[in-house]
C-alpha cells in the first residue's frame, strides 16, 4: 500500500515533510575500497586495471584486448535486429536534433567606455562515459550521454563498459557507434573511472567523466572530481504525476510503475484533485502489479515510497510539486501548458496525457539524465553545456583603462593587494605622461 | 629565482611536465573535524553555531545577534569613504551589465512529428554566499558572487561572513548592500556552511552555496554537495602571460606579481618569444619585490612556482598555454585577438597590454571567480547560469505519439523495462481503437 495523504487532513504537513525527507538511498560506504583502487591504478596503470577486471568481472584480459576493435564492434552490431537498429536510429536523430539547439552563442561587444567584453564557448577536448554492464546496461543511456558530448564538439569520446563473464550487449555497442563514440573499453567499476581520470599505458586520460554507475563508480567519481569534471551523482529515479479525474487510471498507473520498476528505492507519487481517481489509480497499480515482469521491484518501491496525495486544486498541486522538485513531472490535466508555468523546480516536464514519461526516456529528444532527490532545486539535466566551458574575454583601450582603471586601483588598495593596484597605476602613469608631457 | 625553461632545451618536455604537475596546494586533511561540525549544527542548530563562533571567532553572540540588522549595516556603510563607495558602485554597475547578458533564452518548438519540445530556465530560489573574514576579506568577491545571483533572479540571497574578535569590514557590508543581498550573518567556517545547507532556527536553509573559503570551508562545501549545489572548490590563483618583446618589462612584472602576492602557492608564468625580454621581466620582478608590501608572500610564490618560458613563436606559446589551461591568461602581443583564437582552455583572457589582469579582478565586468589548477579544461568561471537551472519540456500529440511511440516501446523491451513499454502501448492501443473501431 502506498502512502495516502490529503491536504485537508490535520496531520498533512507532518506526513508530507516525512515523505519529502524519506531516505531512499542505501549507499554502502565503499570509499576506502575505492581510494585503494584509484591509488593502485595511478601507480600501476594497465596492470592494476587488468587484475581488477579479472577479479570483479572474471575476465582474463591483456592490455591489447581492453579496447574493442572495429571488427569486434562490427560483429556485435550485426547481431542487432533491424527493428532495434531502426528504433535506436530514430532515438539518436531526435536526441541529436534537440541537443544541437542547446549549443550556446558566443558574445562580444564594446561598451561606452571603449572596453570590449564577451565570452567564447569551447568544447571539452576529451570525455569519458561510464556505461554499467550486466543487468542494468541501457543503450538509451549511451545515446543520452554520448550525443550531447559529440554535439558539443568533443573530439575524443571514450566509453568504458564492463563485460562480466564476457557478456556483451550488442545494443550498447551499436548505440555507441551511432552516437559517434571513438573508443570502447571493456572495463568497469572504480578502476574504469580511475583509468579515465588518470590514464594508463593503453587509455589516455580524459577531462570529463559522465554516466551512471553503482556505489563504487559513484564514490570513484566523487574522488576524481577536481582532477576531471564529472556530471551529477544520480540517485534513485522518481516521478510525480499531477492528474485530474479526466484520465484513464490505468495509464497513470503504468506511468507510476515505469519509475517504480527501475529500483526498489525509486519513488512514484500521484497528486490528484479527485480522491476517487486516486483510489482508482492505486487499484490499477495493484492490478498491473499482478502480472508485471519486475513486480517484485516495482511492488516494493510502490509500497515503501509510493504516494497518492489528494489536493483541493491545481495551485496546491503545483506548490507541493515544487517542494518535491521532482526529476520527472507529468501534467495530465486539461491545460498542462498553463499549469507548467506555475512550476519552478523540476528536471523534466511531460505535458498532457499523451506524453508518458517513457517517451522522454527514449525518443522524445530531451535528455533522460536528470537531477534526482530534490536537486532540481539547483541543478539541471545533462546537456551540451556539460561538455563545454566558457572563456571570458576583456580588452581595454588606453582610454577605457583611463576611465575605469582608477576604480580598480582604489579597490585593490582597499584589499591590500598593492601589486594589483600598481599594475594599473603603471599604465595610467604612462597614459598621463603621454598626454600631459 | 623562478624556473627558466626554453623549448629548445633538450630537457624541456620533462621540465615542463614537472611544472604542470607541481603540487601547489597544501590542503590539510580537516575532513573528520568538518564532519563533526556539520553533524553538530544539524543536531543542535543555532546553539552549535553560537558555540563554534565563540570558540573560533572569539565572539559571544546570541541567536538574535547573528544577523546584522539594517541599522547596523547602515552604520557600517556610512563609514565607507565616498571614493571607495564610488569605486564599488562603478564595479557593481559594470559587473551587473556583463552578467545580465548571460541570462539564457528559453526555447520551445514543434517538430515535424508534431512533438512540441523545449526548455525553460528558472532561478535557484535561495542562495548562500560564503565570504571569508579577517585578512583575506574581499568586497570585490561579494560583488562577483552576489551580482550574478541577483541577475539570475535569486529571491533570497544570504551572506555569511565571520567577524573574528568583532572586526567588521564596512566595505564588505556595503558591497553586499549594493549587490542586493537580503541577509547577512556574522558567522563563518564549516559551521556557516552547515547552517546554510541545513538551516538552523535562525537561518533558513538555502539551495546553493558559493564563495571562497579556507580548507574547513572547502571541506564543508564538498560534504554538503548533493544536499545543496556548490560552486567549484577554488585552488591557489594563477596567471599565464604571453608577451612579446614590445612590452614594458615592469608592466608584465607587476601583472605576474599581482597573482604572486595572493598566496605563497599562487603561480605566475611568463611565456615569451624573446629570451632577453624574459630576463628583463625577471629583473623587474626582483626590483619590485624590494619594496612590495606583500614581498614575503609574492617572493616565495615567484621563487617556488614562477616560471619564464622562452618559445620560438606564438603558436608554440598558445599550445603550451592550453596545456596549462590557466585561470588567467594575458595576451600582450601585437594582435591579441588573433592569438586568442588559438586558445582553447583558459578561464579568462585579457587582450593586449592595456588590459592588466587586475582590471578583471575588480571592474572589467567578467567574473573573477575562475577555474584554477587546470580545471579550465572542463569548467567555467562563475556566471548567471550557476544560479539557474533548466527544466526540459515535451508534449506529444496523439499523432506524435503514434509516430515515435513504437520506437520507445521497442527500446523499453530491449532494456527489459516492461512498464515503460506498456505506458506507451496503452495509449497507442487507444489511438488504434479510436481509429479502427
Measured CA to CA, the distance from residue A394 to residue B359 in angstroms comes to 9
CB B245 within 8 A of CB B274: yes
- Asked if residue B317 has pLDDT above 80, the reply is yes
**Looking at beta carbons, which pairs linking A45-49 to residues 24 or more positions away fall under 8 Å?**
A45/A195, A45/A199, A45/A200, A45/A201, A45/A202, A46/A200, A46/A201, A46/A202, A46/A203, A48/A191, A48/A200, A49/A187, A49/A191, A49/A192, A49/A194, A49/A195, A49/A200, A49/A203
In a 10 Å sphere around its CB, with 0-12 CB exposed, 13-18 middle and 19+ buried, how is residue B285 labelled? buried
Cell of B301: 610564490
Rg of chain B's alpha carbons, rounded to an integer? Answer: 26
Instruction: Choose from A331, A353, A422, A425 for mutation: most chain B CBs within 10 A.
Output: A422
Q: Could you tell me if residue B333 is inside a domain? A: yes
Which one of B358, B398, B434 would you mutate to disrupt binding with A, by most A Cβ within 10 Å of its Cβ? B358
Predicted local confidence at residue A302, as pLDDT: 97
> Is the Cβ–Cβ distance between A125 and A389 less than 8 Å?
no
Using a CB-CB cut-off of 8 Å, the residues of chain A touching B135 are 416
Q: Are residues A16 and A38 in the same domain?
A: no
Q: What is the mean pLDDT of residues B307-332?
A: 98
C-alpha cell at A180: 559517434
Instruction: Assess whether A25 carries a catalytic annotation.
Output: no
B294/A416 Cβ within 8 A: yes
Q: Residues B137, B74: one domain? A: yes
H-type helices in B203-246, by residue range? 215-224
Whether A222 and A326 share a structural domain: no
Overall number of domains in chain A: 3
Residue A227 DSSP SS3:
coil
Residues B155 and B210 in one domain: yes
Give B359 to chain A, closest Cα distance, Å.
6
Same domain, A60 and A199: yes
Q: How many residues does chain A have?
A: 437
ipTM, 2 decimals?
0.95
In a domain? residue A431 = yes
Q: Is A10 exposed, middle or buried (0-12, 13-18, 19+ CB in 10 A)?
A: exposed
Neighbours of B398 (CB within 10 A): 18
The 10s digit of each residue's pLDDT in A245-280 is 999 999 999 999 999 999 899 999 999 999 999 999
d(CA A370, CA A376): 8
Burial of A88 (0-12, 13-18, 19+ CB in 10 A): buried
User: Do both B165 and B261 map to the same domain?
Assistant: no
**Does A254 lie in the same domain as A206?**
no
Asked if the model's pLDDT at residue A3 lies above 50, the reply is: yes
Inside any domain, residue B377: no
B101–A359 C-beta distance less than 8 A: no
Which of A230, A248, A269 is the last residue in one of the domains? A230
Tell me what pLDDT residue B10 has. Answer: 96
Q: Please choose, from the candidates A157, A136, A139, A160, the residue with its C-alpha nearest in 3D space to the C-alpha of residue A148.
A: A157
CB-based contacts of B22: which residues, under 8 Å, 6+ apart? B267, B305
Tens of pLDDT, residues B127-161: 999 999 876 789 999 999 999 999 999 999 999 99
Which of the residues B261, B328, B357, B368 is marked catalytic? B328
Domain match, B175 and B247 both: no
The whole-number pLDDT of residue B31 equals 84
Whole-number Å distance between alpha carbons of B202 and A337? 38
Mind telling me how many Å the CA of A421 is from chain B's nearest CA? 7
Query: Which site among A104, A393, A401, A431 would you substitute to test the B interface, given the most B Cβ atoms closer than 10 Å to its Cβ?
Result: A393
Out of A109, A138, A405, closest to residue B359 by CB: A405
pLDDT tens track for A384-431: 999 999 999 999 999 999 999 999 999 999 999 999 999 999 999 999
- Nearest alpha-carbon partner for B145 in B230, B255, B203: B230
- Chain segment B53-64, per-residue pLDDT in tens: 999 999 999 999
Angle between helices B189-198 and B215-224 (to 10 degrees): 20
Residue A390 lies in a domain: no
Contacts of B403 in chain A (CB under 8 A): none
Q: Given A341, A364, A387, which residue is the final one in a domain?
A: A364
3-state helix, strand, coil in chain B (%, to 5): 50, 15, 35
Residues A297 and A203 in one domain: no
Answer whether residue B219 is part of any domain. yes
Is residue A275 domain-resident? yes
Distance CA A181, CA B123 (A): 34
A394 closest CB neighbour out of B171, B365, B415: B365
CATH number at residue B345: 3.40.50.1980
Same domain, A13 and A42: no
pLDDT value at B404 more than 80: yes
Burial zone of B50 (CB within 10 Å; 0-12 exposed, 13-18 middle, 19+ buried): buried
Residue A187 to residue A56: CA distance in whole angstroms: 10
- Does any domain span residue A388? no
- A174 close to A88: Cβ distance less than 8 angstroms: yes
Distance CA B192, CA B196 (A): 6
- Of B166, B201, B230, the residue at which a domain comes to its end is B230
Q: Are B163 and B128 in contact (CB under 8 A)?
A: no
Chain B residues in contact with A87 (beta carbon < 8 A): 406-408, 410-411, 414
Q: Clarify whether A327 is annotated catalytic.
A: yes
CA pair distance A315, A318, nearest whole angstrom: 5
Give the strand pairing for A116-123 and A107-110. antiparallel
Q: Yes or no: say if A397 and A114 are a contact pair by the CB < 8 Å rule.
A: yes
Q: Running DSSP on this structure, what letter comes out for residue A63?
A: G
- B238/B305 Cα distance (integer angstroms): 10
Residues of A with CB below 8 A from B420's CB?
258, 261, 358, 361-362
| C-alpha Rg value of chain A to the nearest Å | 26
Residues composing chain B: 437
Instruction: Say yes or no for a CB contact (<8 Å) between B418 and A97.
Output: no
User: Band of the pLDDT at B23, cuts 50, 70, 90?
Assistant: low
Q: Give the number of other Cβ atoms within 10 Å of residue B427's Cβ.
A: 24
- B302 and B355, same structural domain? yes
pLDDT digits (tens, 9 = 90+) for A103-124: 999 999 999 999 999 999 999 9
Q: Are residues B251 and B400 in the same domain?
A: no
Residue A436: its pLDDT value, please? 44
Q: Look at A426 and B250 and tell me if their CB atoms are within 8 Å.
A: yes
pLDDT at A437 (0 to 100) = 40
Q: What percent of chain B has pLDDT over 70?
A: 97
Q: What's the CA gap between B264 and B278, in Å, rounded? A: 22
Q: Is A180 left (phi over 0), alpha (psi -120 to 50) or beta?
A: left
Domain limits for position B181: 31-106+123-230
**A381 contacts in chain B (CB < 8 Å):** 390, 392
Asked if residues A21 and A324 have their Cβ atoms less than 8 Å apart, the reply is: no
Question: Is A349 within the bounds of a domain?
Answer: yes
Euclidean distance between the first and final Cα of chain B, in Å?
A: 88
Amino acid at each position: 500500500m502506498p502512502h495516502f495523504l490529503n491536504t485537508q487532513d490535520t496531520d498533512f504537513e507532518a506526513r508530507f515533510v516525512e515523505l519529502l525527507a524519506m531516505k531512499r538511498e542505501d549507499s554502502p560506504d565503499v570509499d576506502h575500497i575505492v581510494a585503494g583502487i584509484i591509488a593502485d591504478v595511478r601507480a600501476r596503470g594497465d596492470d592494476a586495471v587488468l587484475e581488477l577486471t579479472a577479479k570483479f568481472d572474471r575476465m582474463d584480459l591483456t592490455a591489447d584486448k581492453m579496447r574493442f576493435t572495429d571488427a569486434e564492434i562490427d560483429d556485435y552490431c550485426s547481431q542487432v535486429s533491424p527493428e532495434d537498429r531502426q528504433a535506436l536510429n530514430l532515438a539518436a536523430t531526435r536526441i541529436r536534433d534537440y541537443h544541437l539547439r542547446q549549443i550556446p552563442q558566443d558574445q562580444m561587444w564594446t561598451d561606452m567606455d571603449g572596453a570590449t567584453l564577451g565570452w567564447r564557448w569551447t568544447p571539452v577536448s576529451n570525455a569519458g562515459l561510464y556505461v554499467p554492464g550486466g543487468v542494468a546496461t541501457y543503450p538509451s543511456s549511451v545515446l543520452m550521454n554520448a550525443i550531447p558530448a559529440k554535439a558539443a564538439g568533443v573530439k575524443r569520446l571514450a566509453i568504458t563498459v564492463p563485460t562480466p563473464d564476457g557478456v556483451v550487449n550488442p545494443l550498447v555497442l551499436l548505440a555507441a557507434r551511432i552516437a559517434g563514440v571513438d573508443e570502447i573499453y571493456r572495463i568497469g567499476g572504480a578502476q574504469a573511472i580511475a583509468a579515465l581520470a588518470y590514464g594508463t599505458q593503453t587509455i589516455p586520460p580524459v577531462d570529463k567523466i559522465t554516466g551512471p554507475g553503482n556505489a563504487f563508480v559513484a564514490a570513484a567519481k566523487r574522488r576524481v572530481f577536481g582532477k576531471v569534471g564529472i556530471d551529477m551523482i544520480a540517485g534513485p529515479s522518481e516521478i510525480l504525476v499531477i492528474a485530474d479525474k479526466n484520465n484513464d487510471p490505468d495509464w497513470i498507473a503504468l506511468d507510476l510503475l515505469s519509475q517504480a520498476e527501475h529500483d526498489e528505492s525509486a519513488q512514484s507519487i500521484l497528486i490528484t484533485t479527485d480522491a476517487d481517481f486516486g483510489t482508482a489509480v492505486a487499484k490499477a497499480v495493484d492490478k498491473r502489479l499482478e502480472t508485471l515482469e519486475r513486480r517484485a521491484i516495482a511492488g516494493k518501491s510502490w509500497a515503501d515510497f509510493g504516494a497518492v496525495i489528494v489536493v483541493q486544486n491545481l495551485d496546491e498541486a503545483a506548490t507541493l510539486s515544487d517542494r518535491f522538485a521532482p526529476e520527472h513531472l507529468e501534467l495530465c490535466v486539461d491545460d498542462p501548458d498553463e499549469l507548467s508555468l506555475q512550476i519552478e523546480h523540476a528536471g523534466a516536464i511531460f505535458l498532457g496525457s499523451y506524453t508518458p514519461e517513457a517517451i522522454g526516456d527514449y525518443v522524445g529528444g530531451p535528455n533522460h539524465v536528470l537531477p534526482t532527490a530534490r536537486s532540481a532545486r539547483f541543478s539541471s539535466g545533462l546537456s551540451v553545456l556539460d561538455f563545454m566551458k566558457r572563456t571570458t574575454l576583456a580588452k581595454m583601450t588606453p582610454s577605457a583603462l583611463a576611465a575605469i582603471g582608477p576604480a580598480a586601483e582604489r579597490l585593490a588598495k582597499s584589499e591590500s593587494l598593492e601589486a594589483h593596484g600598481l599594475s594599473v597605476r603603471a599604465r595610467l602613469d604612462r597614459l598621463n605622461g603621454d598626454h600631459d608631457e
